[in-house]
Copies of this chain bind each other. A is one copy, B any other.
Amino acid sequence: MTENRLERRKARTRAALVRAAQEFIADGKLNAPILEITQSADVGMGSFYNHFQTKEELFHAALEDALDTFGQVLDSLTGDLDDTAHVFAQSFRLTGRLHRRLPELSKVLLHNGFELTRSGKGLAPRARRDIESALAAGRFTVADPELALTIVAGSVLALGQLLHAQPDRDDAAATDQIAEDLLRMLGVPADEARDISRRALPSVAGSDVA
């Protein structure tokens, strides 16, 4: 906020373009003409080129922004815990709940499928860190953390897809069940996996998400 008014106006225009782009991506309208995007952002056609060279560049910025926001929201929700397995489970359970809470952003991630997995931003580095901590602490016994991360990342995405495709399904129940299954996959005994994935969560409901 140290910028002057001119820079803030510029940032607003850029943010409007990014937000509009996210709507188009979420709707799968990846071929939308630039003019339509700028109209949806309530910004003149020419302004687009003050910020981006191509539509791809805008869409990339939109994805990065979605990854960032998702990660930041997650960080704001997760507290410090002693048990590393509990840390992992809590993050996963909160992430699952975000698909319905931040549907636009969630769909942006899903549409870009596995950029998510490979990107250095967003959820992947956090998940990798949590898995490696739990391995080091002896809570997980999986052979290769990168392969474990692969399963977890794929599950996060497929779960999001499921929750958008079946709006009547209880998202918390589905997410917690998958968390439990994944804990077992990671080497946690079945009864403990069940317990860990049913503990109380820091409230998502109340939090001013997005």
Chain A residues with a Cβ under 8 A of chain B? 30-31, 110-111, 113-114, 117-118, 142-144, 146-148, 150-151, 153-159, 161-162, 165, 174, 177-178, 180-182, 184-187, 190
Contact = CB atoms under 8 A, between A and B. Distances in A.
A195 to B, nearest CB: 15
A162 B181 CA distance: 22
Give the oligomeric copy count: 2
Given A113-B157, A114-B157, A150-B161, 4 more contacts: A147-B174, A150-B155, A150-B159, A154-B158
A183 to B, nearest CB: 9
A153 B158 contact: yes
A180 B148 CA distance: 11
Q: Is the interface of A mostly helix, strand, loop or mixed?
A: helix
A158 B150 contact: yes
A144 B177 contact: yes
B113 A177 contact: no
A141 B148 CA distance: 21
A184 B182 contact: no
B30 A142 contact: no
A150 B184 CA distance: 16
B148 A154 contact: no
A142 B181 contact: yes
A63 to B, nearest CB: 14
